[in-house]
Amino acid sequence: VDADDVITKEEQIFLLLKAKAKCERHLKAKVPKVHGDVTSAGCSDSPFSGFSSTDGFCLPEWDGIVCWPEGVPGKVVAMPCPEYIYDFNHKGHAYRRCDLNGSWELVPGNNRTWANYSECAKFLTNETREREVFDRLYLIYTVGYSISLGSLTVAVLILGYFRRLHCTRNYIHMHLFVSFMLRAVSIFVKDAVLYSGSALEEMERISEEDLKSITEAPPADKSQFVGCKVAVTFFLYFLATNYYWILVEGLYLHSLIFMAFFSEKKYLWGFTLFGWGLPAVFVTAWASVRATLADTECWDLSAGNLKWIIQVPILAAIVVNFILFINIIRVLATKLRETNAGRCDSRQQYRKLLKSTLVLMPLFGVHYIVFMAMPYTDVSGILWQVQMHYEMLFNSFQGFFVAIIYCFCNGEVQAEIKKSWSRWTLALDFKRKARSGSTTYSYGPMVSHTSITNVATRGALALHLNTRLIPGTLNGHRNLPGYVKNGSISENSMPSSGPEQYNKDEEYLNGSGLYDGDRPTVLVEEERETVM
């Protein structure tokens, strides 16, 4: 069973065919073949039809579900329900009877071997509870990834639209947002390809007769699984890139805090190659090995130890990121004690540290650690349900939390949105007044509208304005502070403070509004304020 503990029909067929091949090898090595009449009660097209019984025992055979051993005449043979049939009750047994003639007992009135699978099929008749669990899990992660995809799309558009937000820190945020988006899209595509539009269609139970008939069917054409293999491969790649861009965020913040001289522009290219390139290496290696050694059906089945080619790098990224998280929290706690020594009580310090920790947790993916070392248990178990609900909830909504904290609640982003909104409303108001035949003047925070006719007849009155309000001229006309020329809106018309009052963008590093000499210290403080 794959890591999500959900098995598809193709995976069940693969496991069944694998068990059949193993049974065939075992029987050919153990059962003596003699020349003579056929006494096996198996299927006429069975590869063991040439085997004959010895000493009156019933012949071992494969019946399509279980590999039966020799049967003692007049005795009932019991076999454990096979574990490779996912929906069987693995604590039950299947039964056959060997008659006194050394042949397996047949169904009365039917030339078919009798077998009792009632204990194994107990789960097949009562699946309501499991369906409810899978329905709920599917709903949780579909809603979660949909909300994350929408919020991350808006966040990327905001960071890309405003030029003053273009800096290394936000570039890394944008890469992280895009990795979350691609992860969500790849999951939706994988579900559509594997489950034909429904995550529950492939969970249909297979009857006993269906299982027996599967192994007699001709092998399927592998070309029909190409789309499924491509979808699974891209899903694993985008999943890995998401983990590694979370690690990049941790490395970047850790470098700002612990490195005195940190060249952001230089390291950005390295981070980009690390976040997108390294996952491509081990995912490509996994795909090559899978296509060579385990090219079976669709590649969503884990295929034994081959899964560690992808899982080991991902687990390593999670562990390293958790170590960085602990170290940064340690530094923040030390800073809080040093900065607030004698100023506030310990409870306020603990509240600030708790706030910083909660903000950093979705960025560092700390929730991955909780169940990382726990094995998957039985689907009907309480622990499995708790684990799956926890993972589906936090994994699917993590992108939404990251977009909220590092874009929508960011002070710089809010300032740019407010400024853009003010410009838009001012321009809209200007156009409306222009259509009604008036000219708009803006004096700082106040806006006055003067009739064109009044200006024409009383133009001389404008020359008597206080000269302290007229610092210079523009195109032969007096220029008032905050004056908005008719038909244009200037950025200087809006009040500004701090580094935004400078007009030359080339004086800033990466458009962040900080001089080279001040940037390292100020950036660390900005990052600390973000998480505080």
160 part of a folded domain: yes
Is 248 contained in some domain?
yes
Range of the domain at 105: 9-125
User: Rounded to the nearest 5°, which phi and psi values hold at 308?
Assistant: -70, -15
The CATH number assigned to the domain holding 134 equals 1.20.1070.10
The residue out of 409, 435, 458 marking a domain boundary is: 409
Neighbours of 456 (CB within 10 A): 8
Residues 318 and 231 in one domain: yes
- 497-503: which pairs have CB atoms within 8 A and are 24 or more residues apart? 500/164
pTM over 0.85: no
3-state secondary structure of 62: strand
Same domain assignment for residues 169 and 73 = no
Token pair of 343, please? 């100023």
Residue for token pair 């980009």: 272
Q: Tell me, yes or no, whether 435 and 386 share the same domain.
A: no
What per-residue string of b and e applies to 233-272 under the rule 16 or more CB within 10 Å gives b?
Answer: bbbbbbbbbbbbbbbbbbbbbbebbeeeebebeebbeebe
> Residues 403, 452: one domain?
no
| 246 closest CA partner among 328, 146, 325 | 325
Sign of CA dihedral 402, 397, 393, 84: negative
Residues 121 and 136 in one domain: no
Check the CA dihedral 236-237-238-242 and report its sign: positive
pLDDT tens across the length of the chain (532 residues): 444 445 666 677 788 888 899 998 888 876 554 334 433 334 434 444 444 555 678 889 888 889 999 889 989 999 999 888 877 888 889 999 998 888 899 888 777 888 898 888 765 544 566 778 888 899 999 999 999 999 999 999 999 999 888 888 889 999 999 999 999 999 999 988 887 543 334 434 445 555 555 555 555 556 667 888 899 999 999 999 999 999 998 888 888 887 765 666 778 888 999 999 999 999 999 999 988 887 776 787 666 678 889 989 999 999 998 898 888 888 888 877 777 665 656 666 667 767 777 777 777 777 787 776 665 555 557 888 888 888 899 899 999 999 998 899 888 899 999 999 998 888 888 888 887 765 544 444 444 443 333 434 344 333 343 433 344 444 444 443 333 344 443 334 344 444 443 333 333 333 333 444 444 445 555 555 554 4
In a domain, 507, yes or no: no
Please indicate, yes or no, whether residues 438 and 471 belong to a single structural domain of this protein: yes
Please tell me whether residues 445 and 364 are part of one structural domain: no
Burial of 86 (0-12, 13-18, 19+ CB in 10 A): buried
Strand partners, 450: 439
The residue among 343, 374, 409 that closes a domain is 409
Residue 26 and residue 50 in one domain: yes
Find out whether 135 and 152 touch, Cβ atoms under 8 Å: no
Q: Let me know whether 400 and 289 are in one domain.
A: yes
Token pair listed for 389: 């609900």
Structural domains counted in the chain = 3
Q: Is 479 in the same domain as 341? A: no
For residues 130 and 84, the answer to whether their CB atoms sit within 8 Å is: no
φ, ψ of residue 28 to 5 degrees: the values are -65, -30
CA atoms within 13 A on the CB side of 34: 11
Kindly give the residue spans of alpha helices, DSSP state H, lying in 35-85.
Answer: none
